[in-house]
Amino acid sequence: MPEPHRPDTPFDAQGAALDEAVVTRTDPGRARSLSSDAWHDLRRNPVFVISALLIVFLLVIAVWPSVIATRDPLYCQLSRSLEGPAPGHWFGFDTQGCDVYTRVVYGARASIAVGVCATLGVAVLGTVVGGLAGFFGGFWDALLSRTTDVFFAVPLVLGAIVFLSMIKLSGIWPVVLVIAALGWPQIARIARGAVITAKQNDYVQAARALGASNSRILLRHILPNAVAPVIVMATIMLGTIIALEATLSFLGVGLRPPTVSWGVDISAASDGMQFRNAPHILLYPAAALSLCVLAFIMMGDAVRDALDPKLR
Amino acid sequence: MTPGAREPILEVRDLVKHFPLTQGIVFRRQVGAVRAVDGISFELYPGETLGIVGESGCGKSTVAKLLMNLERPTAGAVFYKGEDISRLSGRALKAVRRNIQMVFQDPYTSLNPRMTVGDIIGEPFDIHPEAAPKGARRRRVRELLDVVGLNPEYINRYPHQFSGGQRQRIGIARGLALNPEIIVADEPVSALDVSVQAQVINLMEQLQDEFGLAYMVIAHDLSIVRHISDRVGVMYLGKIVEIGSDTAIYDHPTHPYTQALLSAVPVPDPQAREGRERIILTGDVPSPANPPSGCRFRTRCWKAQERCERQEPPLAVPPVLADRSGEVLHDSACHFAEEKPRVAHG
């Protein structure tokens, strides 16, 4: 290639004008990319900082609940059943006379583990299936979309009850696996639509004309432009999944005592009579659940916005 | 510029692209085909510009996609330096792509909104690492920005921060990155403002002189095609109806369709406009799924006779031009080809 030149046409002036108009915060010496720009923005976004701190806090108490709760969540005194807040027991006592505060803290582990793991499973499975169906189209689209429809037809709660009562294993992993295996079709449909929309853009053709491989086109061009609706859907599903864990626990097929989880406590407290007499046993675990879901939704929102350069 | 005895860099032979029309969901059966491109042949010589004009839906863009190997032809072949590239795949295809690049019509969808300009123009080097050593890529991208008349400091910006014309320059820089010999430009300026169109066209001409590029420019704007092209092909319903040097096509058109197209070009000079005859075509373009027999233009042609229905006119030098020479001599696919004075502009 010959020496680069500077054409003496009017667009130089136009370029200079743009330089002044747009506030430059560019250090052209350093290469920037979408991810580094997004990280730069996120660190300055209060919504992201607050939600990240909240999530870190929730993760810390999920891993080391004893840091802020010194009692044993399984030590209960029936004599104090449904008693209100008392010194040293700020959230009161539940039906069994266990300390509600301790149980809310210890419940974080199972609830967050089920919520986060199942959501990750659902998001990854749904994105892969929907993405491949949308990208390859034709036969693969027909096969994967019909498979999605079959799974979509199985009601989530009913399917989970059937599978969980069949496998008869306790602990959180069966619950995570069943929710992930049955919950992905929603994400798959959204991902498929988003991929089909992104695929039709000329920049995909341009990448192909340059000789880009399918995996490069999918990962560099289609996924970044199709991931926003999946992030939104997944963060909303996180709340639904934690609530679903509660439903399954209530029905006796999810987590079982002695496992402590928000869901177990919420279902145990969901009796109308008890709620009238002692609302605190429902309110505290429910508030913890809402706070956790809110934190993830805020984080998802902030990440989605940071990945869209047009919103900067 | 007449091709003379030079070897063509790109040769298209009897290229056909039919898109099947299917019915049924589970058991698909083909009920017909849209004949987007139906047997076209032309050559592109090094350093020249071939313009392809025609109205919407005549198959111009499909030709571009076939040349770029973005679609596989139903029949026919595309030879690049004597090698049929339309059946290549994998490594061999990737190697050929380095030499044939494309500039897209719409600068608003041809640049990935989530990549910086540096990443967009640098992507060709990621895909073809042999094209530039790793340490030099960033510098090459800045050079390319400079070559297309953009400030190299814009390297970290995103496409939405640029105007349409600037975006099209980014698209051109991406096309130039691999130092190709051929650039296929599909309506490179039709999405831009008129004032910016001239800038981009001039930039393309300047780059052609600088790097010895061969262009195939597809457009529906006859004035732009005349301005940039050495040779022009006119397409109608998937076929080339007339092809020749720009002088031949614009000043001595013999095909009725070319004459009708030219008579529709607005002439800015009122004096020249007076003695001019306007040909107004009636009817619509027939469906490419069910084209007319014989000559495809006969349904809208004022010269059509029974012979046109029966026999398809070959694309060859018509008898009326047989005794002419030089630039005027060109191919026209009409049984009754003749020059018609006072339709050409300028």
Instruction: Quote the percentage of chain A above a pLDDT of 90.
Output: 40
Least confident of A15-19, A223-227, B159-163: A15-19
User: Mean pLDDT throughout B116-138?
Assistant: 91
Measured CA to CA, the distance from residue B240 to residue B183 in angstroms comes to 20
CA distance to partner chain A, nearest, from residue B192 (Å): 15
Tell whether the model's pLDDT for residue B346 goes beyond 70. Answer: no
> Is residue A27, in this structure, part of any structural domain at all?
no
Q: Structural domain of residue B184, as residue ranges?
A: 10-99+180-332
Q: Is the pLDDT of residue B203 over 50?
A: yes
Q: A40 CA to chain B: closest CA distance, Å?
A: 14
pLDDT tens-place string over residues B309-325:
999 999 988 888 888 77
Q: Which domain holds residue A298?
A: 35-311
Quote the number of domains for chain B: 1
CB contact under 8 A, A9 and B199: yes
Q: How far is A5 from chain B (nearest CA, A)?
A: 6
- Provide the pLDDT for residue A307: 85
Residue A4 to residue B203, Cβ atoms within 8 A: no
Question: Between A and B, how many residue pairs show a Cβ–Cβ distance under 8 A?
Answer: 133
* Residue position matching structure tokens 């959230």: A91
Query: Which neighbouring-strand residues pair with B102?
Result: B184
Identify all chain A residues contacting B157, using CB atoms and an 8 Å cutoff.
Answer: 26
Residues 6+ apart with CB under 8 A from B183: B100, B101, B102, B103, B175, B176, B213, B214, B215, B216
Quick check: A19 and B153 CB within 8 A? Answer: yes
Query: How does pLDDT run across A272-310, given as a tens digit for each residue?
Result: 677 777 888 889 988 998 899 889 889 888 988 888 888
Residues of A with Cβ-Cβ distance to B165 under 8 angstroms: 11
pLDDT grade, residue A133 (50/70/90)? very high
Number of structural domains found in chain A? 1
Q: Indicate the range of A43-52, A204-213, B17-26, B157-166 predicted with least confidence.
A: B17-26
Helix H or strand E segment including B2? none
Contact assessment for residue A93 and residue A79, using Cβ atoms and an 8 Å cutoff: no
Nearest neighbour of A7 by CB, restricted to B106, B154, B206: B206
For the cut 60, the answer to whether the pLDDT of residue B151 exceeds it is yes
Cα B272–B278–B282 angle (5° rounding)? 165
- How far, in Å, CA of B34 to CA of B56, rounded? 14
CATH of the domain at A98: 1.10.3720.10
- Return the minimum-mean-pLDDT range out of A16-25, A72-81, B59-68: A16-25
Q: Return the structure tokens found at A64.
A: 């080391």
What tens digit of pLDDT does each residue of A30-87 get?
677 888 888 888 999 999 999 999 999 999 999 999 888 888 888 888 888 777 788 8
Q: What integer pLDDT is reported at residue A29 of this predicted model?
A: 56
- Among A261, A227, A120, A105, residue whose Cα is nearest residue A177: A120
Residues of chain B neighbouring A205 (CB-CB closer than 8 A): 65, 70, 102, 104, 110
Q: Where are any strands of DSSP class E within chain B?
A: 10-23, 29-44, 49-53, 75-80, 83-84, 100-103, 182-186, 214-219, 231-236, 239-245, 331-332
Q: Is the pLDDT of residue A9 over 80?
A: no
End-to-end CA distance of chain B: 20
Contact B147 A5 (CB under 8 A): yes
* Confidence band, pLDDT 50/70/90 cuts, at residue B241: very high
Put simply, the answer to whether B153 touches A24 (Cβ < 8 Å) is yes
Structure tokens at A81: 């059943």
Residues of chain B positioned with their CB less than 8 A from the CB of A311: none
Span B294-302, average pLDDT: 91
Per-residue model confidence as pLDDT tens digits over B265-285: 887 777 777 777 788 888 888
Residue B110 domain-assigned (yes or no): no
Crossing angle, helix B137-147 and helix B164-176, to 10 degrees? 130
The alpha-carbon gap from A205 to the nearest alpha carbon of chain B, in Å, equals 7
User: A211 and B93: CB-CB below 8 Å?
Assistant: yes
B127, A212: Cβ pair inside 8 Å? yes
Give the pLDDT band of residue A11 (cuts 50, 70, 90). very low
* Chain B residues in contact with A312 (beta carbon < 8 A): 158
Contacts of B59 (CB under 8 A, 6+ apart): B17, B36, B37, B38, B40, B235, B237, B238, B288
Give B233 to chain A, closest Cα distance, Å: 24
Q: Which of B105, B114, B170, B202 to mutate to test the interface with A (most CBs of A within 10 A)?
A: B114
Q: What was the ipTM of the complex prediction?
A: 0.86
Asked whether residue B149 is domain-assigned, the answer is no
Judging contacts by C-beta atoms under 8 Å, the chain B residues touching residue A24 are 153
Hey, of A202, A222, A303, which one would you mutate to test binding to chain B, going by the most B CBs within 10 A of its CB?
A202
pTM value? 0.82
Whole-number pLDDT of residue B343: 63
Which one is predicted more confidently, A236 or B300? B300
Q: What is the pLDDT of residues B76-88, one digit of tens each?
A: 999 999 899 988 8
Residue B11: pLDDT band with limits 50, 70, 90: very high
Element (H, E) at B207: helix B194-211
Identity of the residue in A6, A209, A221 whose CB atom sits nearest the CB atom of B70: A209
Is the model's pLDDT at A3 over the cut of 50? no
In a domain, A299, yes or no: yes
Residue B60: inside a domain = yes
- Assess if residue A5 is contained within a domain: no
Q: Which residues does residue B240 pair with via DSSP β-bridges, in sequence order?
A: B235
For residues B4 and A126, the model is more confident at: A126
CATH at residue B269: 3.40.50.300
| Mean pLDDT within A205-212 | 92
Q: Do B149 and A12 touch (CB under 8 A)?
A: yes
Is the Cβ pair A32, B102 closer than 8 Å?
no
CA distance A116 to B18: 50
Do B102 and A15 make contact, defined as CB atoms within 8 angstroms? Answer: no
The three-class DSSP label of residue B100 is strand
> Of A190, B18, A277, A60, nearest to A198 (Cα)?
A190
How many helices (H) and strands (E) chain B has is answered by: 11, 11
Contact B178 A24 (CB under 8 A): no
Q: What is the pLDDT of residues A257-267, one digit of tens each?
A: 778 888 888 87
Note whether residue B25 is domain-resident. yes
pLDDT bucket at B344, cuts 50 / 70 / 90: low
Long-range contacts of B160-164 (CB under 8 A, 24+ apart): B160/A309, B160/A310, B160/B113, B161/A22, B162/B117, B163/A18, B163/B196, B164/B107, B164/B108, B164/B191, B164/B192, B164/B193, B164/B196
**Of the partner residues B68, B105, B157, the one whose CB lies closest to the CB of residue A209:** B68
Least confident of A82-86, A162-166, A237-241, B14-18: A82-86
- The mean predicted confidence, pLDDT, of chain A is 84
Q: What are phi and psi of B67, to 5 degrees?
A: -65, -35
Does B111 sit within 8 Å of A211, measured CB to CB? no
Walk across the sheet containing B29-44 and list its strands.
Answer: B29-44, B10-23, B75-80, B83-84
Query: Is residue B207 in some structural domain?
Result: yes
**CB contacts, 8 Å: B68 with chain A:** 209
Kindly state the percentage of chain A with pLDDT values over 70: 90
**Cβ contacts of B93 on chain A, cutoff 8 Å:** 211
- Cβ distance B115 to A34 less than 8 Å, yes or no, reads yes
Residue B27, in any domain of the structure: yes
- Contact state of A11 with B147 under an 8 Å Cβ cutoff: no
Instruction: Decide if B112 and A203 are in contact by the 8 Å CB cutoff.
Output: yes
Six-digit token string for A288: 């913890």
> CA angle, B237 as apex, B233 and B241 as ends, to 5°?
35
- Reported as a pLDDT band with limits 50, 70 and 90, residue A232 is confident
- The DSSP string of B263-318 is HTS--S-HHHHHTPPPP---SPPPPTTSPPSSSTTGGG-TT--HHHHHSPPPSB--
- At residue A61, what is the residue type? I
**At B5, is the pLDDT very low, low, confident or very high (cuts 50, 70, 90)?**
low
Interchain pair A1, B149: CB under 8 A: no
Angle at A24 between CA A20 and CA A28, to 5 degrees: 120
Q: Would you call A224 and B112 a contact, using CB atoms and an 8 Å cutoff?
A: yes
Report residue B208 as tokens: 């052609």
Q: Band of the pLDDT at B1, cuts 50, 70, 90?
A: very low
**A238 part of a folded domain:** yes
What average pLDDT does this structure show over B220-246?
92
B265: left (phi over 0), alpha (psi -120 to 50) or beta: beta
Residue B114 with chain A: CB contacts under 8 Å: 34, 224-225, 307-309
Integer Cα distance of B59 and B285 in angstroms: 12
- Considering chain B, what is the average pLDDT of its residues? 89
Please check whether residue A17 lies inside any domain of the structure: no
Q: Which of A1, A197, A303 to mutate to test the interface with B (most CBs of B within 10 A)?
A: A1
**Tokens at residue B37, please?**
């491109």
